[in-house]
Amino acid sequence: MIWIVVGLALWWAAHLFKRLAPGPRARLGDPGKGLVAVGVIGGVVLMVIGYRGVEHIDLWYPPAFLTHLNNLLMVFAVYLYAASGMKTRITRPIRHPQLTAIKTWAVAHLLVNGDLASVILFGGLLAWAVVEVILINRAEPRGPLPEPAPVGKEIGAVVGAVVVTGAMGWVHNWLGVWPFG
């Protein structure tokens, strides 16, 4: 469990460095981006190692129907993440689509995983995304809304989200977790 917590701490520190210590981060310049990337990647590696090696301690037993809700939320999370880069229409009402995607992803996983390690991992990432949104909103006013995207871009984002979610399901299956109920 300690590796999950250390990984989360490294993830939080790397991501919040710019917001909580803007002066030191700015002094690092472009090499600071590499430092942040190493922190993020290191955090992910530690979280994965910790999660895969931890003793399974059940806190509750999620009902099977939540698997379907999880899968629907995952398609939406992947769409939101893609929407950020593609500037689809949803980026007009949702200021932080990537962070909203992370929050959606975390909630989806909390719905179907009732063990302690999952609560710490997914709950920790959910809490980080909430804190990140709050800090960004305090520091930066919202800029102009993007122009509405063409319908073709919307269709591409939705189709892409379904394909990527399917690929992620295949990877989960390859790792020994069947995510489709």
pLDDT in tens, the chain (181 residues): 999 999 999 999 999 998 898 888 888 888 888 999 999 999 999 999 999 999 999 999 999 999 999 999 999 999 999 988 888 888 888 999 999 999 999 999 999 999 999 999 999 999 999 999 999 999 888 888 878 888 888 888 899 999 999 899 889 888 888 787 7
pLDDT at 8: 98
pLDDT at 100: 97
pLDDT at 56: 92
Domain ranges of the chain: 1-54, 57-181
d(CA 8, CA 2): 10
Contact status, residue 87 vs residue 144, Cβ threshold 8 Å:
no
**Which DSSP string corresponds to 117-145?**
HHHHHHHHHHHHHHHHHHHHHHHS---PP
| 3-state SS class at 140 | coil
